[in-house]
A and B are shown apart, each in its own frame.
Chain A
């Protein structure tokens, strides 16, 4: 039965499709092929999520080799939802792709782009599904290397520098993770996460394990862009091609957050991480600083892509904050925000892609009067912004509700709840800068003239943007799906750790 092999298909199909793209070469054919692969991945991810939601975690042994010898794929609701985010965003972004690529990337490089894109997606999916910690490193490298390539394809030459800086930072991060894995292997003799978790109990007081944990945490934090290790992110997001920004913003940091949750709750366990290593004492202040510093910096940006990039750094702060509560409510909130933020940031960056396609810039200066020139896209940007603030009836509000709930649940964290709510006001400030420019500054006459000449944004770009934006509204009004999945994910994650 093919349905038994869905976990491996999730990885193998895009992995093999990537080199096929290079063979196909013809750009329309490559696009159609990649699109098919991504939607197939999305279908598989959906089927897998439904299965783990109904039947509980599933284990798949590669080639029939059992755990200590072979590699094992292991999926629980947390992994399921992350798979869905990655493949779903990839599928929508590829619908968005062809017209914007024509504008941003030379036609003879399209096949390379799609190959790198599929590899990146494979890497991200692989990190999520695998139950083997060395396999995590392999997939992390696959996704990172292809991400560097994707970012460097940006039309602006500064994209090269941004990609290079990301490369340096990312490589340090990967190396730290590898060192951490090596130290853990040295003490336990296993790379399987479940085995690791079982054997760490005997040796968790050794300095080696603590060092392993420290290396892993710092490495993942770099990938996660946790303040102050976020410096690679704003430039990378700003100068990457529009659709790459949308894809990476929605998925890459989310997968890193997944990895953090997995390492802490499944592998190392709450007693070691929060009681002995006191990770919360380090992460909570950093997360709060991320929220306040990055939001404040965002207010003063003039490039909207960069503004949203700093907003992402702030939102990662919320994720880490929720993670730091180390409670079921906290993990639930973290997963809910993970999903919602992927959706809202993806939607916003796609909308910016539409803007860049039409007017060739995303500087605030050039967006004046856009509410009149591109009313629909401007409205979508506003909805996305309301999500970032956390206005009721948007997904952002649901995130905020559960985040504050989780903070108030532990009495001593009530100042954190207050800080979280007041930090939304910084989001109001940076979102409203955009809104005022869009609606309350008249368009320049020269822009209005050029509007008459230029073709409108094609439906293939508007449709995915609309779907994602309206998705945030639907999940804001009716969040049952996200909440249920997140609660199940938290149950399994903490159940294993306990």
Chain B
């Protein structure tokens, strides 16, 4: 397959998949087969692009040139490749997980669910591979609308209200700011093509650069910069695979990816640094990452705590982009991948716990490690990766981000990074620790879940907790289709630690003429 046709296929394969899936409502097994096949095929297609991109090729293809000078087309470059890879890899894991979750939970409207999911993935690929801001904006909006039915999946009053917040904030920002910034840039620069070194240099005054950066940064509402973060906790009403899609696979990553890509290829790092228009954004990001961490500590609902954790981690990426030097941007891009792998593990675990025990609060998880050891172990791994400790992937991205902050001599921002990492430990680790080291509370007890006994290979307990809690000591995991993906992504966190040099090599050609590792 030539790189050009692979570019087209990366967007149209999931779309085609969506079309087929929508007709297979009668045959659920066949439908899920198609989902998995398309997901596997997509990863294969995207993988064929990695080699050429690392070797310096920039394959490009135009679909339509509707407006003079503004083609809808795709171009593979390092940053987009990384995001495309993340989305397509995690789609497989999420699909497997979704099959386990949606069936284990007896959800309705599953055909609509898988169809919209596939469209969302196609949109994510379009965002990743867009050759200009125009194409990126098109797919950005497609992503918003295709995820709306997913967020409101349950269709009740609560879901409807969440859907309003979701659409309200995402559309307000994208139409009000992002589209404005896009058209404005087109007016100023006469092009919207993503170009190494940027396109705005010499076309805009420093003030205007600052205004445009603000419009782009807040226009990418999916990046959930405070105060535009409310949609993310609201969207928690959706089924857990959707949360995984929002938080790890596609949606929020689309936001921070957009900011990073625009910083690198529209503004250009030099322009941003020279005008000094970037620093205020760094402080907004630092504020967001600290505040969100603090809020996360107060949340007892597990998914809500994870949501605020995501807001905080996204701000890392924005901070990296805002610092606008080579290390910070590499750290930002890497954090997209690392955080995705870690956070998806955490969400899979939260969903597995819910499917099995219907528990939603952190305070209810005491002693759960004995009942669901694999799940809670994976949770621990994911948590450590999000915190950023070796030997897990998250360590590298935070390393580069810290390096970038140090190089830019903004020590306040560096301090914010460090403090936030400590806060991460404070709100994530207790969950895993409680599960393993706090005994099951004797008053509440754990009622063995009535549904789905297939997960329980009842192994002999260690008996240390006494015979009254014998029920709790047996292994009672969620359906294996849920457990398998979360184990896989947990292992993925480890693999990313040792495989980070591949990502580094992929990303470095973003900056032609810049140096290698210090």
Contacts and interface: CB of A to CB of B under 8 A. Distances in A.
Interface stretch (A4-12, A193-201, A422-430): A422-430
B141 A392 contact: yes
Contacts of B48: none
B64 A478 contact: yes
Query: Which residue among A392, A404, A439, A478 has the maximum number of chain B CB atoms within 10 Å of its CB?
Result: A392
A483 B66 CA distance: 9
Given A401-B183, A479-B67, A428 B176 contact: no
Contact of A428 (B66, B149, B152, B167): B167
Nearest to A405: B183
B74 to A, nearest CB: 15
Nearest to A402: B67
Query: Which residue among A390, A398, A421 has the maximum number of chain B CB atoms within 10 Å of its CB?
Result: A421
Contact of B176 (A405, A422, A436): A422
B267 interface: no
Interface in B356-373: none
Nearest to B135: A392
B64 A477 contact: yes
Given A404-B180, A421-B175, A432-B167, A386 B67 contact: no
A483 B68 CA distance: 10
Contacts of B72: 477
B152 A440 contact: yes
B309 to A, nearest CB: 30
Interface string B164-189: 10011001100110011001101100
Interface string B134-174: 00011001100100010010010001100110011001100
Contacts of A401: 67, 183
B66 A418 contact: no
Interface residues of A, number: 29
Contacts of B175: 389-390, 421-422, 424-425
Given A401-B67, A421-B179, A425-B175, A386 B145 contact: yes
A25 B472 CA distance: 85
Interface in A71-106: none
A418 B145 contact: no
A421 B180 contact: yes
Contacts of A477: 64, 66, 72
A390 B137 CA distance: 13
Given A390-B175, A425-B176, A440-B152, A408 B168 contact: no
Contact of A393 (B142, B164, B167, B186): B142
A191 B155 CA distance: 62
Contact of A392 (B142, B159, B176): B142
Contacts of A417: 180, 183
Given A440-B152, A440-B155, A418 B187 contact: no
Given A408-B183, A421-B175, A428-B168, A392 B137 contact: yes
A206 interface: no
Contact of B66 (A389, A405, A436, A479): A479
Contacts of B64: 477-478
Interface string A394-410: 00001011001100110
Interface in B106-144: 137-138, 141-142
Given A392-B137, A417-B180, A436-B160, A425 B155 contact: no
B179 to A, nearest CB: 6
B187 A408 contact: yes
Contacts of A393: 138, 141-142
A404 B137 CA distance: 15
A2 B486 CA distance: 75
A219 to B, nearest CB: 35
Interface residues of B, number: 28
A359 to B, nearest CB: 21
Nearest to B65: A480
Contacts of A408: 183-184, 187
Contact of A483 (B67, B152, B160, B180): B67
A405 B186 contact: yes
A391 interface: yes
B518 to A, nearest CB: 42
Contact of B138 (A386, A392, A479, A480): A392
A398 B66 CA distance: 10
B183 A440 contact: no
A408 B184 CA distance: 7
Contacts of A480: 66
Nearest to B184: A408
Contacts of A392: 137-138, 141-142
A199 to B, nearest CB: 39
A436 B164 CA distance: 10
Contacts of A398: 66-67
Contacts of A440: 152, 155, 159-160, 163
A477 B179 CA distance: 17
A333 B149 CA distance: 33
A21 B145 CA distance: 48
Interface string B308-329: 0000000000000000000000
A418 B67 contact: no
A483 B65 CA distance: 12
Nearest to B144: A391
B66 to A, nearest CB: 5
Nearest to B70: A401
B180 A432 contact: no
A334 to B, nearest CB: 17
A53 to B, nearest CB: 17
Contacts of A428: 167-168, 171
A380 B72 CA distance: 25
Nearest to B145: A391
Given A391-B145, A478-B64, A418 B168 contact: no
Contacts of B67: 398, 401, 479, 483
Contact of A421 (B141, B145, B176): B176
A33 B67 CA distance: 40
A288 B67 CA distance: 27
B29 to A, nearest CB: 24
Nearest to A425: B172
Nearest to B178: A421
Nearest to A475: B66
Contact of A432 (B149, B164, B179): B164
A231 B298 CA distance: 54
Nearest to B68: A483
Nearest to B172: A425
Contacts of B183: 401, 404-405, 408, 417
* 9 nearest CB pairs, A to B: A392-B138, A392-B141, A404-B183, A440-B155, A408-B187, A424-B175, A421-B176, A479-B66, A422-B176
27 contacts: A389-B171, A391-B141, A392-B137, A392-B138, A393-B138, A393-B141, A398-B66, A401-B183, A404-B180, A404-B183, A405-B183, A405-B186, A408-B187, A421-B175, A422-B172, A424-B171, A425-B168, A425-B171, A425-B175, A428-B167, A439-B155, A440-B160, A440-B163, A477-B64, A477-B72, A478-B66, A483-B67
Interface of B: 64, 66-67, 72, 137-138, 141-142, 145, 149, 152, 155, 159-160, 163-164, 167-168, 171-172, 175-176, 179-180, 183-184, 186-187
Given A404-B183, A417-B180, 8 more contacts: A389-B171, A392-B137, A404-B179, A421-B175, A421-B176, A421-B179, A421-B180, A425-B171
